Amino acid sequence: MALATFGAGCFWGIESAFLKVNGVEDATSGYAGGTLDNPTYEAVCSGTSGHAEVVQVAFDPDKVSYEELLEVFWTIHDPTTLNRQGPDLGTQYRSAIYTHSPDQQTAARQSLAHKEESDAYRDPIVTEIAECSEFFRAEDYHQRYFERRGQVH
């Protein structure tokens, strides 16, 4: 089992999208990229903790590659909007790839470069790529949010 961590707006939709990928064993909503230990949803939403809403994906690399997960990441959000996805506005909604190894760092940078060269986006990509130094699991009511409400996304 391997881990990948992505920020692409509100974590509810990110979690739902990755859970549909064959080879993804689990997806956990949480927070990464900030300075506060054990942040709460309220602290993250206030913008004072520095964290992004993220999803940590546990995947089987024999069934799905990290590069394939990166492709899902690029398709589920707009990586050209700084600190915003749809109606959600704030630094916690930034586009981010938090890597767990030097190989993931290389793959993420190559994927970003490929997207920039492809002219897939009219505006510049603002996705942050950084090491996943610490991941904090979000409160239980954020886990499987759509699934628990019977909503399909």
How far apart (Å, rounded) are the C-alpha atoms in residues 153 and 146? 7
For residue 58, give every residue at least 6 positions away whose Cβ sits within 8 Å of its Cβ, in sequence order, or none.
Answer: 1, 2, 3, 24, 25, 26, 27, 28
How far apart (Å, rounded) are the C-alpha atoms in residues 151 and 121? 30
- Respond yes or no: is residue 45 known to be catalytic: no
The answer to whether the CB of 59 falls within 8 A of the CB of 1 is yes
Alpha helices in 21-142 (DSSP H): 41-46, 66-75, 102-118
Catalytic residue among 2, 3, 4, 10: 10
The answer to whether the CB of 139 falls within 8 A of the CB of 39 is no
How far apart (Å, rounded) are the C-alpha atoms in residues 112 and 106? 10
Please give the positions annotated as active site. Answer: 10
